[in-house]
C-alpha cells in the first residue's frame, strides 16, 4: 500500500488536505479534541469512506453519525472512492461531545486525486492497470509472487554503434523499447491542482547507476524519449497537467546482480505540497514499484541445441567437416569463426558461455565473455553482440588470470531436486582447489561473485585443480535421457582398467592403443595393465573424481543409478611450478559435445578388438540404450595433444527453459 500523510484537524478553522485514491489516510481526532470532550462523531460526503477502529476493537463503521469514545488508542482513517472535480469538494465534519459542553465542530475539506505508477507486477507480459493493487513496494519469488522485472539492456540494436545499448542515453528505435520495461504514471486531479503541488520521480542514489529511465513524449506522428533518471540523475521533477493524464516511462537495467548489488531497484513517485513558497516542500504522498533485474541464466546439455560454434584453424579442416555433419544430423546451425579472426585460438568453450535473460515480455540470449582474452577476445563482441543478443563480462581489472577462469571450468546441471529443495534451472558447477595454498588455483572471485549473485542456479564448487588445465568439463558431462531427464557422465579410470582386464582375459592383450596415429608410441593392453606407475597415477585421479562424485551426489540429489562411468585413463605431468597435474592419457571421451540425442565424442583410438575399438564399443553399450547416438570425432592432433577435446573446441547456444525463473524460490 502506498503511503500518505497524517491529517490534523482544528475546531477553530477549516483544514484542507489531499487524499490519494487507493491509500488509507490517518485522521488525528484525538489530539485535536477540545478539553472536556469525551466522544466524537463523523459525517462525510458520499465520496469519502471513514473507518474508525478502537483498541480493543469496539466498532468499525463507514460514513454515518455514530458516536465513538475519545481514546489514545483510537484510529480513524479516510479513503476516497473517486477523484475530485474541484479542489476541496469533499467534506468531513467531526463533532466533539462532552457531558457539560456544547458540541464542537471541526471541518475538513478533502481533494481526492488519483496518482499511480503501474508496471507489470503480476508478470503477465502486459501492464495491468488495476485500481485495487497489491503492495507494489515489495518483490516476492514464487508462482504467486509479485513484482516487476527489468532487463539489462545489454544487446546492440544500433549496427553503427560499437557499444551495448545501455552504454548511451538514447532510444534509437522501437526495437530498443522492447528491451525495456514500461511504467505508466496515471493522474486524475482538479485542473488547478499542480499550481500548488509537484510530482517527483526518483530512485535511490545507491541505485541510480543501475538503471536508466526514459520519458515518452508523444508527437503528432512519432514519439521521442528523453532520459530523466540514471547515473548522476537520481530524481526528476515532472511537468504534469491537471485533469486526467497518463505518462509512459521506459526503464532499462544497466547492471546485473553482483556482490555489491542484490538486483532490486525501486522506482518512486512523490507528491509534494508547494502551496507555501516560504517553506520547504512538504511530502504528501509516496508510492513505489519494486523491480528485480533479471539474472543471467545458463542452459544445460539437456536443453535443445540451436546453434554450434567452432573455430577454423590451419590444421582442423577435418574436425570442422566432422562437426558440420554432426550439426546437420542434430538440425543445428553451425557458425565457424575464421582463422583470421580467431588468431589460431581454437578453444571456443573457454572463451564464452551463452545463456539468456528473461522478462515476461522478452527473452534475450546473452553471451558471458570470460576474462582469458586470447585470440578469440573479439569474437563475442564482433560476432555475437547485436540486435537481441546481449553481452556481459566479468574479471579482474588488474591481476593474473588463471586457467580456472576459462569457461571450460563453468558448467551447469539439469534441473534437480535435493531433498525438499528444488532447483528447476539446475545448479552451476565450477572447479576450484581443494584448499588454498601458494601453488593452488581458484576461479577468480569476481566471476564467483557474479555467478552466485544471480541466485537462480546456486553454484556448486567442485575440486578440479588436480588437473593440468583444471576444468570441470575434463571429468564430467550431462546427457539427456527419457526417465529422469538426464545422466551424469564421469570419467572413470576404474572402469577403463576393468574393461582392459576383461579384454586381456579374452585373449586380446596384444591389441594396440593409438593404432593409426602417426608419431605416437603404440601400446598394447598388456603394456598398460603392467605399467605400475600409470596405475598409481590413475589411483590418485580416481580418488579426486570420487571426491567430486560424492559432492555431486549430495549437492544434486543423485544416486549411483543416475551416474554413468565412462572409461578413461590419465597420466601425471609436472607443471611449470613442479606440481604433478593430470592429463588425459588418450582422448577424453567425457569431454563431448551434446546436441540433443546426438553426441560428438572424442575418438579414443583404443585397442582394436574384432575390428572395432573396444573403448568406443563400451561407450556405445552404455549410452545407446538410453536413446543416444554416438559419433566419434578425431581430435587427436588438433585438440587432444594441446590438452583439450571436442567440448573444449566448441560452444552451443541452447533454448531457454520453459520454466520462468521468477516462479522459483531461491
Which residues are catalytically annotated? 350, 471, 473, 648
CA distance 444 to 596: 32
> Which residues does residue 77 pair with via DSSP β-bridges, in sequence order?
26, 51
Pairing label, strands 580-584, 593-595: unpaired
CA distance 597 to 150: 35
CA distance 222 to 504: 80
Under a CB-based contact definition with an 8 Å cutoff, are residues 497 and 538 in contact? Answer: yes
Under a CB-based contact definition with an 8 Å cutoff, are residues 117 and 183 in contact? Answer: yes
Whether cis (ω within 30° of 0) applies to the bond prior to 35 is no
CA distance 31 to 41: 15
CA distance 471 to 185: 50
Local structure of 528: helix, strand or coil: helix
Cα Rg, the chain, nearest whole Å: 34
Please name the residues in contact with 572: beta carbons below 8 A apart, sequence gap of 6 or more. 537, 540, 541, 580, 581, 582, 583
Under a CB-based contact definition with an 8 Å cutoff, are residues 478 and 447 in contact? Answer: no
Nearest Cα to Cα of residue 432 among 453, 456, 457, 451: 451
Local structure of 49: helix, strand or coil: strand
**Residue 149 phi/psi, 5° resolution?**
-125, 140
**Lookup result for grid cell 563482441:** 381
Under a CB-based contact definition with an 8 Å cutoff, are residues 446 and 392 in contact? Answer: no
Maximum Cα–Cα distance across the chain: 119
Within 13 Å and on the Cβ side, how many CA atoms surround 500?
Answer: 26
CA distance 40 to 64: 12
Q: What is the 3-state secondary structure (H, E, C) of 80-127?
A: ECCCCCCCCCEEEEEEEEECCEEEEEEEEEEEEEEEEEECCCCCCCCC
DSSP 199-255: EEEE--GGGTTSEEEEEEEE-SS-EEEEEEEBTTB-EEEE---SEEEEEEEEEEE--
Nearest Cα to Cα of residue 367 among 307, 303, 327: 307
Amino acid at each position: 500500500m502506498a503511503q500518505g500523510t497524517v491529517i490534523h484537524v482544528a475546531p477553530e478553522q477549516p483544514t484542507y488536505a489531499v487524499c490519494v485514491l487507493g491509500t488509507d489516510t490517518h485522521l488525528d481526532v484525538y489530539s485535536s479534541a477540545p478539553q472536556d470532550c469525551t466522544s466524537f462523531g463523523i459525517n462525510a460526503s458520499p465520496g469519502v469512506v471513514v473507518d474508525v477502529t478502537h483498541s480493543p476493537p469496539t466498532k468499525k463503521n463507514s460514513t454515518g453519525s455514530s458516536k465513538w469514545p475519545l481514546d489514545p488508542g483510537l484510529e480513524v482513517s479516510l479513503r476516497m472512492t473517486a477523484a475530485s472535480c474541484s479542489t476541496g469538494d469533499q467534506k468531513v465534519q467531526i463533532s466533539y461531545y462532552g457531558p457539560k459542553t456544547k458540541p464542537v465542530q471541526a471541518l475538513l475539506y478533502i481533494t481526492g486525486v488519483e496518482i499511480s505508477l503501474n508496471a507489470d507486477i503480476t508478470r503477465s507480459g502486459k501492464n495491468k492497470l488495476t485500481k485495487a493493487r497489491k503492495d507494489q513496494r515489495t518483490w516476492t519469488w514464487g508462482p504467486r509472487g509479485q513484482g516487476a522485472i527489468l532487463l539489462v539492456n545489454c544487446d546492440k540494436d544500433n549496427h553503427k554503434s560499437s557499444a551495448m545499448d545501455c552504454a548511451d542515453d538514447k532510444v534509437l528505435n522501437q526495437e530498443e523499447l522492447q528491451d525495456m520495461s514500461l511504467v505508466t504514471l496515471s493522474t486524475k486531479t482538479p485542473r488547478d491542482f499542480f499550481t500548488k503541488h509537484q510530482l517527483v520521480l526518483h530512485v535511490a542514489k545507491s541505485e541510480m547507476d543501475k538503471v536508466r529511465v526514459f520519458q515518452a513524449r508523444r508527437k503528432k506522428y512519432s514519439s521521442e524519449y528523453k532520459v530523466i533518471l540514471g547515473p548522476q540523475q537520481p530524481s526528476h521533477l515532472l511537468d504534469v497537467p491537471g485533469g486526467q493524464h497518463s505518462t509512459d516511462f521506459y526503464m532499462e537495467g544497466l547492471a546485473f546482480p553482483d556482490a555489491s548489488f542484490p538486483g532490486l531497484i525501486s522506482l518512486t513517485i512523490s507528491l509534494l505540497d508547494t502551496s507555501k513558497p516560504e517553506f520547504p516542500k512538504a511530502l504528501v504522498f509516496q508510492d513505489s514499484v519494486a523491480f528485480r533485474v533479471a539474472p543471467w541464466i545458463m542452459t544445460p546439455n539437456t536443453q535443445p541445441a540451436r546453434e554450434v560454434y567452432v573455430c577454423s584453424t590451419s590444421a582442423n579442416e577435418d574436425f570442422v567437416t566432422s562437426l558440420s555433419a554432426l550439426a546437420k544430423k542434430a538440425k543445428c546451425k553451425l557458425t565457424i569463426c575464421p582463422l583470421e579472426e580467431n588468431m589460431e585460438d581454437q578453444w571456443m568453450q573457454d572463451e564464452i558461455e551463452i545463456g539468456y535473460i528473461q522478462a515476461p515480455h522478452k527473452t534475450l540470449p546473452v553471451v558471458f565473455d570470460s576474462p582469458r582474452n586470447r585470440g578469440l577476445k573479439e569474437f563475442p563482441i564482433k560476432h555475437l553482440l547485436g540486435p537481441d543478443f546481449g553481452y556481459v563480462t566479468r574479471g579482474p581489472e588488474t591481476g593474473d588470470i588463471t586457467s580456472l577462469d576459462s569457461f571450460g571450468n563453468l558448467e551447469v546441471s539439469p534441473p534437480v531436486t535435493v531433498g525438499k529443495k528444488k532447483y528447476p534451472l539446475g545448479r552451476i558447477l565450477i572447479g576450484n582447489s581443494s584448499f588454498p595454498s601458494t601453488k593452488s588455483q581458484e576461479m577468480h572471485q569476481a566471476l564467483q561473485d557474479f555467478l552466485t549473485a544471480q541466485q537462480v542456479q546456486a553454484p556448486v564448487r567442485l575440486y578440479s585443480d588436480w588437473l593440468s588445465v583444471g576444468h570441470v568439463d575434463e571429468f564430467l558431462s550431462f546427457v539427456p535421457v527419457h526417465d529422469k531427464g538426464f545422466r551424469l557422465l564421469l570419467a572413470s579410470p576404474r572402469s577403463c582398467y576393468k574393461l582392459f582386464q576383461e579384454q586381456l582375459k579374452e585373449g586380446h592383450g596384444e591389441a594396440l592403443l593409438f593404432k593409426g596415429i602417426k608419431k605416437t608410441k603404440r601400446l598394447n593392453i598388456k603394456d598398460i595393465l603392467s605399467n605400475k606407475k600409470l596405475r598409481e597415477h590413475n589411483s590418485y585421479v580416481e580418488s579426486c573424481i570420487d571426491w567430486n562424485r560424492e559432492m555431486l551426489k549430495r549437492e544434486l540429489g543423485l544416486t549411483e543409478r543416475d551416474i554413468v562411468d565412462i572409461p578413461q585413463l590419465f597420466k601425471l605431468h609436472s607443471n611449470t611450478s613442479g606440481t604433478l597435474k593430470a592429463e588425459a592419457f588418450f582422448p577424453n571421451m567425457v569431454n563431448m559435445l551434446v546436441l540433443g540425442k546426438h553426441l560428438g565424442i572424442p575418438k579414443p583410438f583404443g585397442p582394436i578388438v574384432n575390428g572395432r575399438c573396444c573403448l568406443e564399443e563400451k561407450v556405445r553399450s552404455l549410452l545407446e540404450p538410453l536413446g543416444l547416438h554416438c559419433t566419434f570425432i578425431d581430435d587427436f592432433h588438433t585438440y587432444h595433444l594441446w590438452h583439450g577435446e571436442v567440448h573444449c573446441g566448441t560452444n552451443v547456444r541452447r533454448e531457454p527453459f520453459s520454466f520462468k525463473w521468477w516462479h522459483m524460490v531461491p
